[in-house]
Amino acid sequence: RSTGGVGGINPENGSVNDAKNLRVKLVLLGDSGVGKSCIVLRFVRGQFDPTSKVTVGASFLSQTVALQDSTTVKFEIWDTAGQERYAALAPLYYRGAAVAVVVYDITSPESFTKAQYWVKELQKHGSPDIVMALVGNKADLHEKREVPVQDGIDYAEKNGMFFIETSAKTADNINQLFEEIAKRLPRPSP
Ligand code: GDP
């Protein structure tokens, strides 16, 4: 018998959404260039590799988070791969998503404004119980910072979102981002 499986999920029941093992769709949103692909690749592959991003169509990767209470969450992560330009596609993209991660770049006020646009879109078209996270990425570039941490904190709080600053480059807070989301997911009763 296999005892393996990604992150402790039993291959025989890994796909079942029971109280202990969840499988959820997670979508990434944000301006092009803020680091969405790099965040995913850092989380899934443990690497910072800006050259290996998917350029055509939506890419799809999955990764499992094991929590302390021995529950697991398998994230099926959807990256827009540039489709964020086509606003009309968005509702199709985030249909069925339990989680939305809205990313901006702390060195780019424009990307922070764009993040707020995506949050409004999600509030209009997303599932009402969607878990939303606001992520200020490129936190390693603090000498070029143009978006104060407090602005992110305040906006997230007003909109019922989880907030964190990350660096895909240094790996800072990347695992924490996904762990905190996993903890916030509503669970079916046992
Ligand atoms: P996407 O268009 O949102 O998917 O952005 P990418 O993941 O392709 O990243 C865009 C650029 O930002 C790349 O050149 C990365 O090298 C750079 N980048 C991404 N994350 C970070 C980060 O945390 N720190 C720094 N300094 N650069 C980053």
Asked if 110 and 138 count as a contact pair (C-beta separation under 8 A), the reply is no
Model confidence at 50, in pLDDT bands (50, 70, 90)? Answer: confident
pLDDT digits (tens, 9 = 90+) for 86-110: 666 677 778 889 999 999 999 999 9
User: Cα–Cα distance between 171 and 167 in angstroms, integer?
Assistant: 5
ipTM: 0.99
Q: Report how far apart, in Å, the C-alpha atoms of 107 and of each of 56, 103, 118, 131 are.
A: 27, 12, 18, 25
Q: Per the structure block, which two tokens stand in for 28?
A: 């990434």
What average pLDDT does this structure show over 134-145? 98
Report the pLDDT averaged over residues 111-138: 94
- What integer pLDDT is reported at residue 151 of this predicted model? 98
**Interval between CA 39 and ligand 1 midpoint (Å):** 8
CA dihedral 67, 17, 172, 45 (to 10 degrees): 110
Q: How far is the CA of 167 from the centre of ligand 1 (A)?
A: 9
Phi, psi of 168 (to 5 degrees): -70, -25
Residue 38 CA: which ligand 1 atom is closest? Answer: 7
Ligand 1 centre to CA of 64 (Å) is 23
Looking at residue 61, what is its pLDDT?
85
Among candidate residues 162, 41, 149, 40, the one with its CA nearest the CA of residue 99:
162
34 CA distance to ligand 1 centroid (A)? 6
- pLDDT, averaged across the chain: 84
Paired tokens of 77: 């992560």
Winning range, highest mean pLDDT, from 50-64, 111-125, 153-167: 153-167
User: What's the pLDDT at 55?
Assistant: 47
Q: Which residues pair with 99 in a beta bridge?
A: 26, 131
**Ligand 1 pocket at CB < 6 A:** 30, 32-38, 50, 53, 137-138, 140-141, 167-169
Q: Please tell me the distance between residue 162's alpha carbon and the centre of ligand 1 in angstroms.
A: 21
User: Tell me, what's the pLDDT at 96?
Assistant: 87
- Which residues pair with residue 61 across a beta bridge? 77
14-33 pLDDT tens trace: 445 677 889 999 999 999 89
Question: What's the DSSP call for residue 70?
Answer: S
Nearest CA to ligand 1 atom 6: 35
| Pocket test residue of 38, 49, 166, 170 for ligand 1, highest count of atoms within 8 A of CB | 38
Nearest to 94 by CA among 121, 112, 69: 121
